[in-house]
Amino acid sequence: MDLNTTKIELAKLILSIDKPKVIDKIIDLLKAESKDYWLELSDVEKEGIQLGIEQLDTGEKVSLEDFLKKVS
């Protein structure tokens, strides 16, 4: 099924809902999915993420196994 067909089917399902609580849950889910979590991060968190991306881009990485050994 293509995306537009899926959207139409979803709209039909939503239009058939008679319970306000279900509608509220759908609205909450859609709002949560559309948040830009980057805007909610502190500057320190953003810098840490950027540093990690830069390290990965330059080949500086540690395997999960090595990391787990180090922190255990």
Residue owning tokens 């809902």? 17
* In the predicted structure, residue 26 carries a pLDDT above the cut 90: yes
pTM of the complete model: 0.45
Residue 58 pLDDT: 92
Q: How far is CA 10 from the centre of its chain?
A: 21
Paired tokens of 33: 């999915």
What is the reported pLDDT for 39?
83
Helix (H, G, I), strand (E, B) or coil at 62: coil
